[in-house]
Amino acid sequence: MVNRYFIRLLICFITFTLISLDVKSEGTKQLAPNESIVIEGNETHDIASLHIDSPIYNNFASRKNKNPESRLYVHISDPTSECIFLGFSAAHLMNDGGLQDIEYWVLDPSGKEIFGGVKLFDGESEIKNWQEAVNGPEQLNGNGGYNATYISSDDLTSRGWTGEGDYYIEFRNRSSGLPFLIDYFDITVASNNNETFIEKPGRVWAYNWALFSINDFGFPNRPFNGSFYICAPDTYDESKSFISKIDFNGSGFQPAAFNFAFNSFGTDTTGNVVFDRQSVENRNRTLWEYPIYLNDPVDICEEAILGDAKIQSIRRCDNNGFEFGVYIKAHSEVNFLLDFHDQDGIFTANTKDVVIAESFEFDGLDTLVFLFWDGIDGLGNDYNNLQGGEIPVKMIYGQTPFHFPIYDGEYLFNGLNVEQVRPRSFNPTLLFYDDTNITEDPGNNNVKAQLVGCESPCHSWDLYLNQNFIGFGNKNTINTWWFAHQIQEEKVFDIPSYYTCSIEGPSGFCENETIKLLARPRLNPLAGEPYPISEIAWNGPGIVGSNNLSYIELDEEGEYTAEIFWINDDDVECSSVCAHTVEMLTIFNVVIDTTIILGNIVEINAEQYFDEGSFIQNLTANNGCDSILTINVDVIIPDVILTCKLEGPPTVCTNETTLISSLLTQSILPDYPVNILSYEWSGPNIIKEDKDQIEIGEEGIYSLLVNYKDLNDNTLITDCQIQIIASPVYNDSLSIDLFRGETFTLNNIEYSESGQYVDSLLTVDKCDSIININIQIKELPIYDQYILFDMSDCRSSDYEKLVASFDASDDCLSLEVSNLYRQNPEINAHSCTSGVGGGSAICISSDDSSIYDASSDKHIRFKLTVVPEEDKEVVISQFSFFEKSPEYFSWIVGGEGLNNYPNKFAVSIKVNDSIVYTQVDQTSTRDWKLRTFDLAGNVNFVFRDSTEIEFSMMAYDLVGNESFVTAWDLDEIQVVYSCSDKTMIGNIHGVVTDVFDHPIADVELQLFDVLGNIVYHNVTNSLGQYAFENLLEGANYSINANYNGDVLKGVTAIDLLQIKRHILGLNYISTPYQYIAADVNFDHEITAIDLLYLSRLILGISESFPHDKPWIFIDEKSHIDIDNFWHFNENIQVNSKDTILNLKGIKIGDVR
């Protein structure tokens, strides 16, 4: 293959002579023009690699990509007389630089291969370095160039294509199939004329170039300094074009890999000019339209003619926006800046400034076109309804837009340099951009939008984060646009006027009348320049006479419209339409027939009628027309019923009189009373009679008969009766027994002394009654041995005075008794009040809690220390005291007043610091009451050794009134005891085993007395034995056993199977112990629920039984059967007379 190309080139050079031109190559020379640049301190030359087959950059020039927008084109004007010289450097990967074997082909415009594939293997290349690529084919330019591959005219036409067209080159990576780079290339087109080659520049192009400034000195530090020519057709005459050049040399463009295109719209094709030209974040939107050449395509693009534009006017016909008139010459895009912010000719984002833009067609003549603005500025202010003001505008007329979207360009430090090549514009080239959709800031203190143009070079950015993050240019499509020809003009308009209209006149008229309607035009703004009204046109169903005056006369109902016409400054006719609806009103002649009941009133139009007859009202209707109203009234007299009721006391006291009165009630019309003819009374003892009232003197039934005439003169009768019962006078006796110091209250009288008393009361029937009261005072019982606090030495400042009296000479025991005391006595002080039997009592404060608090410092306490002699025992049999919670406190020394009294009190007794007796929520009374607590038979109060006993009392649960005093009164606090020889000692013992008679160790047993107090605690030994000793002989106790061993002990899947067979009736379990073990959830039934709980335990889903009790212990003598297997008591009753009590333990779940 190489030898064949060499022979063809040799023949070409023998036959033809080269004509030397300034442009010796087309490729690297334009894209990488500088032989010497410095990067990061390193001297090198430009490199702009072709980026082949990258999916990120549209698979440029790829063999597998059939998209025409991503091809590398070579334009051939005449394939019969032109040829191509081309060469490429070695291909390599982007990241590691590894060399790749590649192959390329040349295809004609119809897509047929006319040359190739040419294989470049193992680093083989046609171009070795930058200098060879810039110098071009050595076959054409002599030494210093490269040995080019030659494609002749015969090759170009070999597949039948003979006309003008665009050939293209496709590449393939034969090594890895990955995207690759070609650092240097040249594609030179030449023609032969008179046996001489003539180079044809401006033939190499693409719609969407993909290039790479390699990262040989760090990413992305290598600049791109190349240039391009863009050929954009004139939209009026597509045979003509505008050619722009964009030159990056010295621009500071450092893109690494990048993709770009040129078009007439921007980054989208919605048709919305403002939206389509905005830059796009994180997407490749390099949409192609214009071909991009490496040189001026002088043989391809014929230059167009420059157009012109001028601002003409502003206009509107209503308040729905404005139109700006512009005269244009040539197809163009017109941008208007509404420069409300500072009028500086610059668009400032996030201010009042507004930009509107629109593209227009040109018909060959000067054309007046209009741009619409909705009247809303950049901050949302509405100009449509302003009553005056100015609109400053700046027009930017652009002929043939060039949009340059570039994707993934990391840096552009110095901005774009754009030159209009052909035809030359007489105005400087202005660049425009709108980057407001890009999140990051461009840096360089640049604005994100330039909508009125900046003079080239401009539009730069320097914000780059890193290769993997979106920066400003990195991974974004940044769009810049300009126009082949631009004209700018500024002008300030007054807000233009327009008319609205309204119609004045009535909304209705009466029959057989006519009315007028008047059309009133209103100028907006009011101070604006008025336009002459050219016409007023009326329309409606009943216009009488002319319909084009400012008013009309009409005689029919319906909708009437007036349209006002005027001519604005552009000689455009505007109009405003207003409407008015008119209703024809009728004259009314109405009759109302109404019926009322006597005594009622009917009101019509503020006139009241209560008599029969016909009445006339002359009225004006709501519609303003006359009306006549006739009212016929008929009055009905209804039947009236009279009812009778007798009122009086239900009883009459013996030997007294009472009154009975009558109450007559009329069923309706109380203002029209019936005529009473007579009253007829009857009864056993009427003492006095007066029409509607009588006086009686004994019990019985009393009646009244009333004769009357109703309103229709009918004679009627009504009657009623009442029964009176005699109430006797009572004479009763009442006997009351009181202890000394107690009181009895009756009828607000207190009794505290023995004697006979008489009191007079009223019964519930208000009759007199006599009560004979017999009061007997009993003395408190006197015990042989007792301790008594009688409070006779009460001193409000000193608890030490509150001491007890007792017999200290008893040789059976020694006894010590403390004084009464309270914690924190400086706060919890006491007072003295009148006590039981007239002596002194102690008065203490109460706890403010509503429930008993055993730790409260409000308790009053005293302690006993008893030491019985050897072989003796002390028994406390009773504790008592008087207490009351008075409604009003009264202190012997001090004041008196309302008491915030307690409702409850509690008693607590400790033996050797352990609470053995408690009574809470005892109801306190307002008067003195003896409180006695029986301790006899309680083993806790039998003492054989030295023992300390503490008694404490406290009141609580205040009534809750406003008083700060919470007084509780105490008196006569007494403890009754006895001392005697020791009683006999009893004991209880036994063995605890399972159902198989195996002893169970570590079972906890508790012994309770008859009051439920724990007396002793014991644990079984390894043989299952236990014993409770030194008990009162013959005393009753209860025992409870508990064992928290392994919950799975003895429980297996066999137990599950046996319970399941029992439930299914296949094999019933046979003993009461098995029934108890199988009832896992203790519901007295054996069901599938028991299976579920047991299986969850075996599988480890649960760690305990639902009742958390793995063992049941019962008296082995308990008589239970299968039918009543749950009839047993775990609290086993026992007596202490040397009792043997053996317990049987049943493991729940173990049904063996």
* pLDDT for residue 765: 62
User: 1072, 1061 in Cβ contact below 8 A?
Assistant: no
Confidence at residue 434, expressed as pLDDT on a 0 to 100 scale: 95
- For 606-623, how does the pLDDT look when each residue is reduced to its tens digit (9 = 90+)? 888 888 889 888 887 777
Within 8 A by CB and 6+ apart from 1055, the residues are 1094, 1149, 1150, 1151, 1152
Q: What angle do CA 733, 737, 743 make, to 5 degrees?
A: 100
Q: Which of 647-661, 818-832, 984-998 has the lowest mean pLDDT?
A: 984-998
Average pLDDT over residues 482-502: 91
Structure-token match 């991503």, residue found: 70
Of the two residues 337 and 755, the one the predictor is more confident about is: 337
Sheet (strand 626-636) strand order? 588-597, 626-636, 613-620
Strand partners, 881: 931
Which of these, 273, 293, 248, 285, lies nearest to 405 by C-alpha position? 285
Of 753, 931, 774, 901, residue with least CA distance to 838: 753
User: Beta-carbon neighbour count of residue 703 at 10 Å?
Assistant: 14
Cβ neighbours, 10 Å, residue 436: 12
Least-confidence region, from 249-253, 526-530, 641-645, 738-742 = 738-742
The full DSSP string for 644-658 is EEEE--SEEETT--E
Q: What is the pLDDT of residues 107-150, one digit of tens each?
A: 999 999 999 999 998 778 999 999 999 999 988 888 889 999 99
**Are 509 and 585 a contacting pair, CB within 8 Å?**
yes
- Rounded average pLDDT over 274-278: 94
Tokens of 389: 């003001």
The CATH-assigned architecture of domain 786-981 is: Sandwich (2.60)
pLDDT higher than threshold 90 for residue 387: no
Q: Mean pLDDT, to the nearest integer, of 203-225?
A: 92
Model confidence at 1132: pLDDT above 60: yes
Of 171-175, 242-246, 285-289, 879-883, minimum mean pLDDT range: 285-289
DSSP track, 1054-1077: HHHHHHHHHHTTSS---SHHHHHH
Q: Where are the domains of the chain?
A: 2-33+48-215, 273-494, 498-585, 588-636, 642-727, 730-778, 786-981, 984-1152
Cβ atoms within 10 Å of 390's Cβ, excluding its own: 11
User: Do the Cβ atoms of 580 and 560 come closer than 8 Å?
Assistant: yes
- For residues 1139 and 53, which has the higher predicted lDDT (pLDDT)? 53
Helix (H, G, I), strand (E, B), or coil: what is residue 274?
Answer: helix
Q: In what order do the strands lie in the sheet with 82-88?
A: 17-18, 196-199, 185-192, 82-88, 149-151
Closest CA to 611 of 638, 595, 635, 593: 635
Domains 642-727 and 786-981 share a fold: no
pLDDT for 427 equals 80
Looking at residue 1103, its pLDDT comes to 77
Whether the predicted pLDDT of 1110 surpasses 80? yes
Q: Tell me phi and psi for residue 949, to 5 degrees.
A: -120, 130
Give pLDDT, residue 1055: 82
Q: pLDDT band at 983, cuts 50/70/90? A: low
Give tens-digit pLDDT for 543-583: 998 888 889 999 999 999 999 999 988 888 999 999 999 99
For residue 812, give both structure tokens: 């059976």
**C-alpha neighbours within 13 Å on the C-beta side of residue 449:** 21
Residue 124 CB partners (closer than 8 Å, separation 6+):
90
CA proximity to 813, closest of 909, 944, 975? 944
The answer to whether the CB of 1020 falls within 8 A of the CB of 1001 is yes
DSSP, collapsed to helix, strand or coil, labels residue 778 as strand
Q: What is the pLDDT of residues 1009-1054, one digit of tens each?
A: 877 788 888 899 887 888 887 777 777 888 999 998 888 888 887 8
**Would you give the DSSP letter of residue 559?**
E
Quote the percentage of the chain above a pLDDT of 90: 48
Cα distances from 664 to residues 668, 673, 690, 708, in angstroms, run 12, 11, 15, 11
642-727 has which CATH code? 2.60.40.10
* 620 beta partners: 626
> What are residue 1078's phi and psi, to 5 degrees?
-80, -25
Average pLDDT, the chain: 87
Q: Cα separation of 916 and 1013, whole Å?
A: 7
Of 739, 751, 791, 750, the residue nearest 932 (C-alpha):
739
Q: Greater confidence, 521 or 1136?
A: 521
Give the model confidence (pLDDT) of 765-815 as tens digits. 667 667 777 887 765 554 568 899 988 888 777 888 899 988 877 778 899
In 592-629, which positions are buried (b, 16+ CB within 10 angstroms) versus exposed (e)? eeeebeeeeeeeeeeeebeeeeeeeeeeeeebebebeb
Higher-confidence residue of 425 and 952: namely 952
For the stretch 4-42, pLDDT in tens is: 333 333 333 333 333 333 446 899 999 999 999 999 999
Is residue 353 scored above 50 in pLDDT?
yes
The per-residue pLDDT for 379 is: 95
The phi, psi pair for 219, rounded to 5°, reads -95, 130
Which helix (H) or strand (E) is 746 found in, with range?
Answer: strand 744-746
pLDDT at residue number 628? 84
Measure the CA–CA gap between 973 and 836, rounded to whole angstroms. 11
| Tens digits of residue pLDDT in 646-656 | 998 888 887 88
Q: What does pTM read for this prediction?
A: 0.47
389 to 127, 385, 985: CA distances (angstroms): 69, 11, 120
CA distance 1088 to 1075: 14
CATH 2.60.40.10 fits 984-1152, yes or no: yes
Is the model more confident about 214 or about 610? 214
Separation of first and last alpha carbons in the chain: 100
The Cα-based distances of 28 to 73, 91, 217, 226 in angstroms read 15, 15, 20, 9
pLDDT of residue 18: 37
Strand partners, 742: none
CATH of domain 498-585: 2.60.40.10
Q: What is the pLDDT of residue 730?
A: 60
SS (H, E, C) 300-348: CCEECCCCEEEEEEEECCCCCCEEEEEEEECCEEEEEEECCCCCCCCCC
Q: Is the dihedral of CA 280, 283, 288, 293 positive or negative?
A: positive
Length of the chain (residues): 1152
Q: 587: pLDDT confidence band, cut at 50, 70 and 90?
A: confident
Highest mean pLDDT among 195-199, 247-251, 634-638: 247-251
Q: Which of 627, 642, 652 is nearest to 679 (CA)?
A: 642
pLDDT per position as a tens digit, 161-195: 999 999 999 999 999 999 999 999 999 999 976 66
Amino acid, single-letter form, for residue 308: D
- Is the distance from CB of 508 to CB of 555 less than 8 angstroms? no
**How is 54-85 classified by DSSP, letter by letter?**
-GGGTTTTBTT---GGG-EEEEES-TTTEEEE
Strand, coil or helix: 588 = strand
The per-residue pLDDT for 984 is 52
